[in-house]
Amino acid sequence: MWLAVLLFVVILGLFIYLDTRKPKDFPPGPPWIPVLGSALHVHRLRKQTGYLYRATAEMAKRYGPVVGLRVGKDRQVVLCGYEAIKDMLSREEFDGRPQGPFYETRTWGKRRGVLLTDEDFWQEQRRFVLRHLKEFGFGRHTMAELVEEEAGQLVQAFQQKLQGSQNAGVVMPMHNAFGVYVLNTLWSMMAGIRFSHSDLELKMLQGLLTELFANIDMVGCLFSQFPMLRFLAPELSGYNRFINIHQRVWKYLKAELDKHKATFQPDTLRDFMDAYLKTLSSGQKKPSFSESQLLAICMDMFMAGSETTTKSLGFCFLYLLLYPEVQQRAQAEIDAVVGRGRLPTLNDRPKMPYMEAIVLESVRMFMGRTFSIPHRALKDTELQGYHIPKDTMVICNFNGSLMDKGFWGDPDVFRPDRFIDSQGSVIIPDQYTPFGFGKHRCMGETLAKSNVFLFTASLLQNFNFSIPPGTVPPSTDCIDGVTPAPKPFQALVTVRAMD
């Protein structure tokens, strides 16, 4: 009996020792406790600061720009400085993506898609996506026409809301005013359709996704860091909700795919879905191609393709309310270059450096609150002098590069001029990292910046946006989650007078 108790105590002590022991030369960070690792420390700091990105930024002040953590089963390294971020993103040994329930459950037990896959599978699929999206307009003149059409639809929607308001204007929510129009610019190439802003099912799905993104983090969630919670506490851990929302999105996309299959003609390709279906029907398709993979790509594009752009626009108009002089200067540039007789186009962009600077500053304000999509070390390696074991999750806190006071000077101020040199030309410093580096640089960068530019320019050409009378200025605090969202805010929208 006593021998059994002694053996149990020895085994327990050994478990505690091994579970709290950090790998040799692992980056510094808070101490690890059994099972939880540094989860409680991160949770307390997040509660104090309000946000995960601020919590890890605070840790970086104490431990340095490379912070080592363990949250449940996940060994994590958070990079909070430009040099460390650039070093990691430039090296192939960090090109992996995380593994585990969070990254596999979303696509039914196997990592699929292009956002969270890696190595040969990812390269093959990403190459196919880029090549065939270009055929349907991605990065070409046709894409400009799609963005310009949606910008026109957005202006018309605002005009309809202001009908009958005389000169008084209308108070309307701005934090969520852009989602359908942004999605359409991508979805027209993906599936050859555009959604109506009054589509109730789409609005429901976007609402569910907004809720989902506010309740999980880029580094995972409870059921991924503590996998047993999927079975012990599926509701509390968020597992059931995660599954339910993804099932509804999957069902929505599958219905569109079934329509494509029913009308598919291999000699007349209408969009990306058709191009993929043609590959599936050929006898030379590679093992990475499947109908499930096509749906996973569509889900990646549906969920992430519009998410960051929509929120960048939300932050853009939030700051335009708070900095009316920026809005007025942008309108002066629009009037001088475009006039009032037609809507702006992307061909006007090279002649509108201040509007371009507003795009860069809006994206900085959004991405300065975010993390990168997590990477995974594909082998034992080193980073900034520290040992990084194989399969460690490595993630960039872009706050460290985009909101660095030592470099930007006044990072919390919305100042587009920081991107314009003495000759009036746009300059982009190396520290501007919102789209990443190297092979994993965001493939939607061109479309995202085009959307923010043209949607903003088109609205500012036709309307004034101000803080509603009798209300306090909107807060620049955000809603934490996978990607930050501006808190709900409204603007008084009035039609610009014709001079």
Residue matched to tokens 């393709």 = 305
Task: Please check if 221 is assigned to a binding site.
Answer: no
Integer Cα distance of 270 and 173 in angstroms = 35
Distance of CA 433 to the CA centre of its chain: 13
Write the DSSP symbol of residue 348: G
Distance of CA 93 to the CA centre of its chain: 23
Write the DSSP symbol of residue 414: -
Integer Cα distance of 441 and 95 in angstroms = 11
Query: Greatest CA span in the chain, whole angstroms?
Result: 95
481 in Cβ contact with 214 (< 8 Å): yes
Distance of CA 301 to the CA centre of its chain: 11
- Residues 6+ positions from 424 with CB-CB distance below 8 Å: 353
Residue 93's identity, in one-letter code, is E
Alpha-helical segments (H) within 421-495: 445-462
169 in Cβ contact with 492 (< 8 Å): yes
CA dihedral 243, 247, 248, 253 (to 10 degrees): 140
Q: Taking the CA of residue 336 as centre, how many other CA atoms within 13 Å lie in the half-sphere pointing to its CB?
A: 12
Query: Can you say which residues are annotated as belonging to the binding site?
Result: 442
Query: Can you say which residues are annotated as belonging to the binding site for heme?
Result: 442
